[in-house]
Structure 1
Protein backbone atom coordinates (compact mmCIF):
# COMPACT_ATOMS: atom_id res chain seq x y z
CA UNK A 1 0.00 0.00 0.00
CA UNK A 2 1.16 3.51 -0.80
CA UNK A 3 0.42 6.38 1.58
CA UNK A 4 0.45 10.09 0.92
CA UNK A 5 0.53 12.88 3.49
CA UNK A 6 0.15 16.49 2.40
CA UNK A 7 0.89 19.36 4.77
CA UNK A 8 -0.23 22.91 4.11
CA UNK A 9 0.67 26.07 6.02
CA UNK A 10 1.16 29.55 4.56
CA UNK A 11 3.95 30.77 6.85
CA UNK A 12 6.03 27.65 7.60
CA UNK A 13 8.74 27.40 4.93
CA UNK A 14 8.81 24.43 2.55
CA UNK A 15 12.28 23.55 3.87
CA UNK A 16 10.96 23.34 7.44
CA UNK A 17 8.03 21.18 6.35
CA UNK A 18 10.42 18.89 4.44
CA UNK A 19 12.64 18.52 7.50
CA UNK A 20 9.61 17.66 9.68
CA UNK A 21 8.44 15.04 7.16
CA UNK A 22 11.94 13.55 6.92
CA UNK A 23 12.07 13.27 10.70
CA UNK A 24 8.67 11.58 10.76
CA UNK A 25 9.45 8.99 8.08
CA UNK A 26 13.24 8.56 8.27
CA UNK A 27 12.99 4.75 8.54
CA UNK A 28 10.58 4.38 5.61
CA UNK A 29 10.98 4.26 1.83
CA UNK A 30 9.62 7.69 0.89
CA UNK A 31 9.86 10.64 -1.46
CA UNK A 32 9.06 14.28 -0.71
CA UNK A 33 7.80 16.84 -3.20
CA UNK A 34 7.30 20.58 -2.72
CA UNK A 35 4.02 21.47 -4.44
CA UNK A 36 3.94 25.18 -3.57
CA UNK A 37 5.23 27.64 -1.00
CA UNK A 38 2.48 26.46 1.35
CA UNK A 39 2.15 22.78 0.46
CA UNK A 40 4.51 19.80 0.66
CA UNK A 41 3.72 16.10 0.30
CA UNK A 42 5.40 12.85 1.20
CA UNK A 43 4.76 9.55 -0.55
CA UNK A 44 5.47 6.54 1.68
CA UNK A 45 5.86 3.14 0.03
CA UNK A 46 4.68 0.04 1.94
CA UNK A 47 2.99 2.49 4.28
CA UNK A 48 1.57 1.61 7.66
CA UNK A 49 -1.63 3.64 7.97
CA UNK A 50 -1.06 4.14 11.69
CA UNK A 51 2.29 5.89 11.05
CA UNK A 52 0.72 8.30 8.55
CA UNK A 53 -2.26 9.00 10.83
CA UNK A 54 0.09 9.61 13.77
CA UNK A 55 2.17 12.08 11.74
CA UNK A 56 -0.99 13.81 10.49
CA UNK A 57 -2.18 14.17 14.08
CA UNK A 58 1.11 15.72 15.16
CA UNK A 59 1.02 18.24 12.29
CA UNK A 60 -2.63 19.10 12.99
CA UNK A 61 -1.84 19.60 16.68
CA UNK A 62 0.81 22.12 15.60
CA UNK A 63 -1.72 24.03 13.50
CA UNK A 64 -0.59 22.67 10.14
CA UNK A 65 -3.38 21.47 7.84
CA UNK A 66 -3.04 17.90 6.57
CA UNK A 67 -4.58 15.54 4.10
CA UNK A 68 -3.76 11.86 3.84
CA UNK A 69 -4.63 9.08 1.48
CA UNK A 70 -3.91 5.42 0.87
CA UNK A 71 -4.15 3.35 -2.31
CA UNK A 72 -2.41 0.74 -4.42
CA UNK A 73 -1.09 3.40 -6.80
CA UNK A 74 0.76 6.65 -6.18
CA UNK A 75 -1.72 8.72 -8.21
CA UNK A 76 -4.74 7.41 -6.30
CA UNK A 77 -3.04 8.01 -2.93
CA UNK A 78 -2.24 11.60 -3.95
CA UNK A 79 -5.81 12.19 -5.16
CA UNK A 80 -7.22 10.82 -1.89
CA UNK A 81 -4.90 13.01 0.21
CA UNK A 82 -5.73 16.08 -1.85
CA UNK A 83 -9.45 15.38 -1.46
CA UNK A 84 -9.11 15.16 2.33
CA UNK A 85 -6.98 18.31 2.50
CA UNK A 86 -9.30 20.37 0.30
CA UNK A 87 -12.41 19.16 2.18
CA UNK A 88 -10.82 20.06 5.52
CA UNK A 89 -9.81 23.52 4.31
CA UNK A 90 -13.25 24.13 2.73
CA UNK A 91 -15.06 23.19 5.93
CA UNK A 92 -12.99 25.67 7.92
CA UNK A 93 -13.52 28.55 5.48
CA UNK A 94 -17.22 28.06 4.74
CA UNK A 95 -19.40 28.31 7.87
CA UNK A 96 -22.06 25.64 8.18
CA UNK A 97 -25.62 26.97 8.33
Structure 2
Protein backbone atom coordinates (compact mmCIF):
# COMPACT_ATOMS: atom_id res chain seq x y z
CA UNK A 1 0.00 0.00 0.00
CA UNK A 2 1.00 3.64 -0.19
CA UNK A 3 0.26 6.58 2.07
CA UNK A 4 -0.74 9.92 0.61
CA UNK A 5 -0.54 12.71 3.20
CA UNK A 6 -3.10 14.82 1.32
CA UNK A 7 -5.84 12.22 0.82
CA UNK A 8 -7.71 9.84 3.13
CA UNK A 9 -7.88 6.10 2.76
CA UNK A 10 -10.62 5.09 0.33
CA UNK A 11 -14.01 4.23 1.78
CA UNK A 12 -17.06 2.48 0.41
CA UNK A 13 -20.64 1.82 1.46
CA UNK A 14 -22.78 -0.93 0.01
CA UNK A 15 -26.55 -1.13 0.44
CA UNK A 16 -28.61 -4.16 -0.57
CA UNK A 17 -32.33 -4.83 -0.38
CA UNK A 18 -33.72 -7.82 -2.21
CA UNK A 19 -32.46 -7.65 -5.77
CA UNK A 20 -31.62 -3.93 -5.51
CA UNK A 21 -28.17 -2.77 -4.61
CA UNK A 22 -26.19 0.44 -4.44
CA UNK A 23 -22.48 1.03 -4.02
CA UNK A 24 -20.95 4.44 -3.30
CA UNK A 25 -17.23 5.04 -2.90
CA UNK A 26 -14.73 7.77 -2.20
CA UNK A 27 -11.49 6.38 -3.59
CA UNK A 28 -9.34 8.85 -1.69
CA UNK A 29 -5.64 8.00 -1.96
CA UNK A 30 -6.41 4.94 -4.10
CA UNK A 31 -7.33 7.27 -6.96
CA UNK A 32 -3.76 8.56 -7.24
CA UNK A 33 -1.83 5.29 -6.82
CA UNK A 34 1.11 5.30 -9.27
CA UNK A 35 3.67 2.92 -10.72
CA UNK A 36 6.18 4.60 -8.40
CA UNK A 37 4.03 3.52 -5.44
CA UNK A 38 3.90 -0.01 -6.85
CA UNK A 39 7.68 -0.19 -7.26
CA UNK A 40 8.22 1.28 -3.80
CA UNK A 41 6.15 -1.45 -2.11
CA UNK A 42 8.00 -4.08 -4.20
CA UNK A 43 5.42 -6.92 -4.14
CA UNK A 44 6.92 -10.44 -4.40
CA UNK A 45 5.45 -11.18 -7.85
CA UNK A 46 7.37 -14.46 -8.05
CA UNK A 47 5.32 -15.75 -5.08
CA UNK A 48 1.92 -14.31 -5.98
CA UNK A 49 -0.52 -16.78 -7.57
CA UNK A 50 -3.61 -14.59 -8.06
CA UNK A 51 -3.99 -10.82 -8.41
CA UNK A 52 -7.45 -9.23 -8.18
CA UNK A 53 -7.80 -5.75 -9.68
CA UNK A 54 -10.85 -3.62 -8.89
CA UNK A 55 -12.55 -1.84 -11.77
CA UNK A 56 -11.71 1.64 -10.51
CA UNK A 57 -8.03 0.89 -11.06
CA UNK A 58 -8.72 0.61 -14.79
CA UNK A 59 -10.09 4.14 -14.88
CA UNK A 60 -7.77 5.80 -12.33
CA UNK A 61 -4.47 3.90 -12.55
CA UNK A 62 -4.36 2.18 -15.92
CA UNK A 63 -0.58 2.53 -16.04
CA UNK A 64 -0.36 0.56 -12.77
CA UNK A 65 -2.62 -2.16 -14.19
CA UNK A 66 -0.44 -2.41 -17.30
CA UNK A 67 2.69 -2.65 -15.16
CA UNK A 68 1.18 -5.43 -13.03
CA UNK A 69 0.09 -7.39 -16.10
CA UNK A 70 3.52 -6.98 -17.68
CA UNK A 71 5.31 -8.08 -14.49
CA UNK A 72 3.13 -11.18 -14.14
CA UNK A 73 2.89 -12.37 -17.76
CA UNK A 74 5.84 -14.75 -17.60
CA UNK A 75 4.97 -16.07 -14.13
CA UNK A 76 1.68 -17.89 -14.84
CA UNK A 77 -0.04 -15.57 -12.38
CA UNK A 78 -3.83 -15.39 -12.63
CA UNK A 79 -4.94 -11.77 -13.03
CA UNK A 80 -8.64 -11.19 -12.38
CA UNK A 81 -10.50 -7.96 -13.13
CA UNK A 82 -13.78 -6.71 -11.68
CA UNK A 83 -15.59 -5.10 -14.61
CA UNK A 84 -19.01 -4.83 -12.95
CA UNK A 85 -19.01 -1.04 -12.67
CA UNK A 86 -21.09 0.57 -15.43
CA UNK A 87 -18.75 3.57 -15.41
CA UNK A 88 -15.97 1.42 -16.88
CA UNK A 89 -17.83 1.18 -20.16
CA UNK A 90 -19.07 4.77 -20.33
TM-score by structure 1 length?
0.31
Structure showing greater relative contact order (alpha-carbon pairs closer than 8 Å, 6 or more residues apart): 1
Q: Who wins on radius of gyration, i.e. which is larger?
A: 2
TM-score by structure 2 length?
0.32
Structure having the higher helix fraction is 1
